[in-house]
Amino acid sequence: MVSTDLARNVLGVIGNIISIILFLSTVPTFYRIWKRKSVERFSAVPYLVTFVNCGLWVFYGLPLVHPHNLLVTTTNGAGMLIESVYLFLFIIYSDHKKRIRVLLVLLVEIIFLVVLVVLILTLTHTTKLRSSIVGGISIGGNIMMYASPLPVMKMVITTKSVEYMTFLLSLFCFVNGVCWFAYAFIRFDPFVVIPNGLGALFGLAQLILYATFYKSTQEIIARREGKNDLTLGDVATSTRPISGSLDHV
């Protein structure tokens, strides 16, 4: 019979792989940015949110804060590195005004993470208290990351089109949430269970919308044929869905 620890470790490894695929899902967007030497109307908000969220979970998974959760640190460490590359490219190819805003927000996030680490390690002296504080803060960051597609979901309902909702990204959001929910449920960790349970629900909602409006999207594209060469596949591979209507940063 498979032990609970082995099952948990297997789920953690699978979760690491899925999470990295999820983080890499926006490579086509940044290839487009690099190729065109412009961020166009893409927003830095999703990448800034994901960066600070990964930083929180890297800290949470350390043995000094929450023992036996090193797999949480590794997957979010990889995510933090990937998001850093995204933000670096975003800063390079932004106009001056947007570049300054992104740099300022990124600086605030880094200062926040450093101050949090210093305060937690100096003012708290038990892993139980540390994990409670950091876990509580991290829940908010994770929910923000998973909820970031909500503006695009609203747009899908309004336009009856899933052109700006990438199927694979929605699928991996769902699978990632389910995997980490199961991982944390085996050795119950509410700080990982809650946000990833919600993440699985958000991912499922996106998949339902995709299935509901896929046919109408094809009809919309078919009516547009002859005017341009745009296809659903072209848009899906060149647009990050969670930045569809976030053009403030």
Domain boundary assignment for the chain: 4-243
17-69 tens-digit pLDDT: 888 888 888 788 788 889 989 887 777 887 888 899 899 999 998 999 988 87
d(C-alpha 230, C-alpha 9), whole Å: 44
Supply the pLDDT for residue 24: 87
Q: Could you list the beta-strand ranges (E) of the chain.
A: none
Supply the pLDDT for residue 189: 82
Q: Which amino acid is at 148?
A: S
Residues of the chain with pLDDT under 50: 230-248
- Comparing CA positions, the residue from 166, 199, 167 lying closest to residue 180 is 199
d(C-alpha 5, C-alpha 187), whole Å: 8
Tokens of 206: 């996106």
Supply the pLDDT for residue 54: 92
Cβ atoms of 93 and 34 within 8 Å: the answer is yes
- Cα 246 to its chain centre, rounded Å, is 15
Supply the pLDDT for residue 114: 96
Supply the pLDDT for residue 44: 83
Supply the pLDDT for residue 231: 47
Tokens of 243: 């930045």
